[in-house]
Structure 1
Amino acid sequence: MKSVNLFCFPFAGGSSIAYFPWKRYLHPAIKLQSVELAGRGARCKMPFYIDFKEAIDDIYEQVCPLLEERPYVMFGHSMGALLVYALIERIRNKGGPFPKHLFFSGRYPPHIRKESFEKYQSDDELIQRILRFGGTPKELFEVPELAEMYLEIFRADFHLIDTYIHIDHSQYEFDISVLTGREDLDVTREDIESWKCYTSHSCHLNTFEGGHFYLKDRIQDVVGYINKISTDVC
């Protein structure tokens, strides 16, 4: 099979390193391209984005040179799923090549808005919301320096989500996959089913054991699924 780029986009509070453990299980022909957002990781010196549009502007500039390199697929978890959706719309508007497949994980479709994160004014309120998602050790917030750093990143990412403006577009003419944790309290079965209207082709629904961050505990299962789909389509 041809080699394929797998672009992965982080969840709120996350960075590109979240996907590095996947390298151990990825098919040799799949090249991991873990996208880093401003304000964290190797780009920690850069200011956070002022809004969602600026984030997509920056991400598009990062991935654009690689879009013609080889076929590609994209995976986004939670906030990352929203980034994937908006980025594909930007690629469409720029006349770029479409992906072979999209993997949307841990999030309801973009047309659904459930809450505004602006209501979490105090650090304690925000910390409780973050802990409800799971995936972030409680002990992290017991170290003042770490708590301050991570809360700054979370607030920046939640601001991105709040500034997202949904615009409908025509259905995708390729397959998509939707992945979720069986015990995820923020994503219902109805939410998952709603993704089907985003493509005129097949929408594969996949439920894994675990909560919102099922992908941290089920790495082999998740990557195995991505391997199967990506090698089939490319």
Structure 2
Amino acid sequence: MTVAHGGTGPTSAATKAWFPYWKPQPGARLRLFCFPFAGGSASVLHRWASLGPSVEVIAVQYPGRETRFHEPPFRRVSALVDTLGPVMLPLLDRPFAFFGYSLGTVISLMLSYWLRRSGAPSPRGVMMAAGLPPKLWRPRNTYTLSDEGLIGELRRYGAAPPQVLANRELMELLLPMVRADFEMLDTFVHPEEAPLSVPMAVWGGTEDRQPTPESLQTWRDYTTQDFSLQIIPGGHFFIHSAADVLREAVERTLSRWFPAPT
């Protein structure tokens, strides 16, 4: 496929908006695109995924938060993917992989499908953390809860420190974005797509209730290639409580998928 740069080249406004913390590393062997969880931001994954000079980390910033606070958030996964996909194309000129956390697992899965349909390069591997496989989803309407109900859901998942959830002024600013993210999850319908033909690595938390460690085995159905599953101590947000363990697991996986030249 010939990638047209047009208005979405490496220095375009769209690229800077979607990847605000990306710092090109000419010596990097690969790029790792990181897709945040519901209510999450690019800065969290950018700080967490410090993987050294051989990996160029590109954390994705959804609209409605941080550097894009004044932009309306997406409410449908398909709309986000159709907008983000073309922006990513110029950055697929070297080997790359995806890492998605919770909501980010859905975004990375759908982007993998989008790239395949577009005839674009495919990721060398896809990493899924704390994400329920779509075929196990049941109808939910979390996004229609009252503000207090939505804060209760965030508290149940351990999504933020108690002092943040108790700060009413701050939550008034954040809840519209969080609600939109939950709407993306609650309204998502998995399309009829063949499994990916790339390896997949999956991680879950020992104490997570959705997804449970057992349910994560179903991700195996989404790839025809190598599949690995590791359960890490912690609840849904083990990316915080077991950050080093997860980072080391990601590094090992990337080393397996992208062996160092000899």
* TM-score bracket, shorter-length normalisation: over 0.9
Distance (Å, rounded) in 1 between the aligned partners of 2:63 and 2:162 = 25
Task: Verify: 1:56 aligned to 2:81, yes or no.
Answer: yes
* Corresponding residue for residue 119 of structure 2: 95
* Corresponding residue for residue 135 of structure 1: 159
- Paired residue total: 232
Deviation at 1:120, TM superposition (A): 4.4
* Corresponding residue for residue 121 of structure 1: 145
Task: Determine which of 32, 42, 48 is the counterpart of 1:16.
Answer: 42
Task: Verify: 1:200 aligned to 2:224, yes or no.
Answer: yes
Asked if the contact 1:27–1:227 (Cα under 8 Å) also holds between the matched residues in 2, the reply is: no
Residues 159-168 or 10-19, more deviating:
159-168
Among the aligned pairs, what percent are the same residue?
Answer: 29
Task: Determine which of 164, 183, 195 is the counterpart of 1:171.
Answer: 195
Asked if the contact 1:8–1:35 (Cα under 8 Å) also holds between the matched residues in 2, the reply is: yes
Asked if the contact 1:4–1:230 (Cα under 8 Å) also holds between the matched residues in 2, the reply is: no
Query: Structure 1: 5+ residue runs without aligned partners?
Result: none
Distance (Å, rounded) in 1 between the aligned partners of 2:139 and 2:110 = 19
Task: Verify: 1:3 aligned to 2:18, yes or no.
Answer: no
Equivalent residue runs for 1:31-42 within 5 Å: 31-42=56-67
Runs of 4+ that moved beyond 4 A: none
Superposed CA RMSD in Å reads: 1.7
* Corresponding residue for residue 65 of structure 1: 90
Distance (Å, rounded) in 1 between the aligned partners of 2:105 and 2:160 = 19
Distance (Å, rounded) in 1 between the aligned partners of 2:206 and 2:142 = 28
Asked if the contact 1:37–1:59 (Cα under 8 Å) also holds between the matched residues in 2, the reply is: no
Distance (Å, rounded) in 1 between the aligned partners of 2:150 and 2:34 = 26
Distance (Å, rounded) in 2 between the aligned partners of 1:156 and 1:104 = 21
TM-score by length of 2: 0.83
Deviation at 1:118, TM superposition (A): 4.2
Distance (Å, rounded) in 2 between the aligned partners of 1:198 and 1:220 = 27
Instruction: Give 2:66's aligned amino acid.
Output: G
SS of the residue aligned with 1:76?
strand
* Closer, same or farther: CA 56–118 of 1 in aligned 2, 3 Å: same
TM-score by length of 1: 0.93
Task: Verify: 1:158 aligned to 2:182, yes or no.
Answer: yes
Distance (Å, rounded) in 1 between the aligned partners of 2:134 and 2:192 = 9
**Alpha-carbon deviations, 1:195-225, whole Å to 9, x = none?**
1111112210011000000011222211111
Distance (Å, rounded) in 2 between the aligned partners of 1:233 and 1:138 = 39
Query: Structure 2: 5+ residue runs without aligned partners?
Result: 1-26
**Alpha-carbon deviations, 1:165-186, whole Å to 9, x = none?**
2113222222101100110011
**Alpha-carbon deviations, 1:18-53, whole Å to 9, x = none?**
1122254x1320111000001112111211124222
**Alpha-carbon deviations, 1:120-143, whole Å to 9, x = none?**
421111111111111311211322
Distance (Å, rounded) in 2 between the aligned partners of 1:58 and 1:138 = 34
SS of the residue aligned with 1:12?
coil
Asked if the contact 2:143–2:150 (Cα under 8 Å) also holds between the matched residues in 1, the reply is: no
